[in-house]
Amino acid sequence: MKRLLILIALGASACDRQPQQSAAPPRQATTEVLASQGPTSKPPAVVPMPKDQAELDRMILAGYTPHGTHLHPPGVKECPLAQGSEAVM
């Protein structure tokens, strides 16, 4: 019972204190933090062809390009698996 009274007294005295201000510098702006981070990840240049036709249709509608037995994500213009000067259409 005495411990409970001591805990209540400590809790009440802690509420009366003013918040302490730290000497830490202000945080950087969000754009500065984002700009200072490393490079963003890129999607793989080659994605295997899905076995489900509906999934293949969704991927093509999302911008993936069918190329032989695999797909290329949007923006890929050259195939790393191609032999010679074969381009992705």
Tell me the sheet residues that pair with 47: 71
- What are the percentages of helix, strand and coil residues in the chain, rounded to 5? 35, 10, 55
User: How far apart are alpha carbons 48 and 16 in whole angstroms?
Assistant: 63
List the chain domain ranges.
42-89
pTM of the model: 0.46
Q: What is the DSSP string of 20-41?
A: PPP-PPPPPPHHHHHHHS-PPP
Q: pLDDT truncated to tens, each residue of the chain (89 aa)? A: 778 888 888 777 776 666 666 665 555 555 565 566 666 676 677 888 889 999 999 999 999 888 888 888 888 877 877 766 665 55
User: How far apart are alpha carbons 33 and 45 in whole angstroms?
Assistant: 28
What pLDDT was estimated at residue 38? 63
